[in-house]
Homo-oligomer: A and B are copies of this chain.
Amino acid sequence: MRKQNRVKTMQAVILKDRRVSVEEVPMPSVEEGEALIRVSKAGICNTDLEMIKGYMDFEGIIGHEFVGRVVETPVKDWIGKRVVGEINISCHKCEMCQAGYPKHCSSRRVLGIQGKEGVFAEFMTLPLSNLHSLPSEISDVEAVFVEPLAAALEILDQVQIRKEHEVLVLGDGKLGLLIAQVIRTQTPDVFCVGHHPRKLALLQRRGIRTCLKNCDRDQKFDMIVEATGNPKGISEALNRIKPRGKIVVKSTFYGQSGIDISRMVINEIQLIGSRCGPFEKALDFLKNKLIDVRDMVDGDYPLEEAQEALELAKRTKTIKVFLTP
């Protein structure tokens, strides 16, 4: 096959030995069933920051939140399409895949996290079966939020939230702000406890009650979403949950968390681990303007300034930082 006369290298953000650098690397090779995608915009997630600390032990191109355009693929209909992509690459054969949980595939690779180069680069590849074509109603900025919004929407697939439920969201980070908005579509009684007046103000403008730090200690909730990113978050949730209540756990971090198990048993509390979620629903929510991501982007940097972008993303006052190759 005659090679096209195209660039053979590209710029990418590489993680190695817990250090990040911007390098010129070979273009990704496109495997069977995959598309080559030119990245239009990418988002920095807390997971990226945790990975730099050593989480997941990954080396290579990091990043998994993106919007891009398909530039090469055997299925011609896809070429030129504006796309987002699911991050779990599954075998579709193992027990978990067959049981309908491909994102729990026992031999999965995860975009920019585990066994698969990520999106902080000019180009990337993903299986066509992971891609979702974007409707024109969703902007590039909104599209970068599809992956974390899907993770927030996973909660609705795991627990039934009714309009009479009182729900507490612990944490006003990137994910907490999306989760509070998602839950607000199910019940008016959402309450977000955070540490940053500016972030909470953003929720207040969307009609969500908020509170700085340790307020209203006495109120107990039917359901709590723990998105603090802090090992102490679960204990805080156990303090504020009603008996028979459900705590959805979103935080991932190093090491162990001390939990008062007897209290969980006596009050018959459920702790529900929650990870990636449904892209279709996220696209639907954004298309129908049920989620508002305005004012959530604090910076948009070219790839060569990835270091500065990551530094900004690390600051606790920051919400979201973008990279534009």
Contacts and interface: CB of A to CB of B under 8 A. Distances in A.
A270 B270 CA distance: 7
Place the interface of chain A in its size category: 35 or more
A270 B272 contact: yes
Interface stretch (A36-44, A135-143, A205-213, A243-251): A243-251
A265 interface: yes
Nearest to A269: B273
A251 B242 CA distance: 20
A257 B255 CA distance: 13
A314 interface: no
Interface in A256-285: 256-262, 264-275
B251 A256 contact: no
Given A96-B243, A101-B243, A101-B244, A261 B252 contact: yes
Contacts of A260: 255-257
Interface in A279-307: none
B270 A275 contact: no
A121 interface: no
A61 interface: no
A74 to B, nearest CB: 32
A272 B264 CA distance: 8
A266 B243 contact: no
A124 interface: no
B268 A270 contact: no
B244 A264 contact: no
A234 B252 contact: no
B270 A271 contact: yes
Given A96-B242, A270-B272, A262 B258 contact: no
A261 B249 contact: yes
Given A266-B273, A269-B273, A273-B269, A253 B244 contact: no
A231 interface: yes
Nearest 3 Cβ contacts at the A-B interface: A104-B243, A256-B258, A264-B273
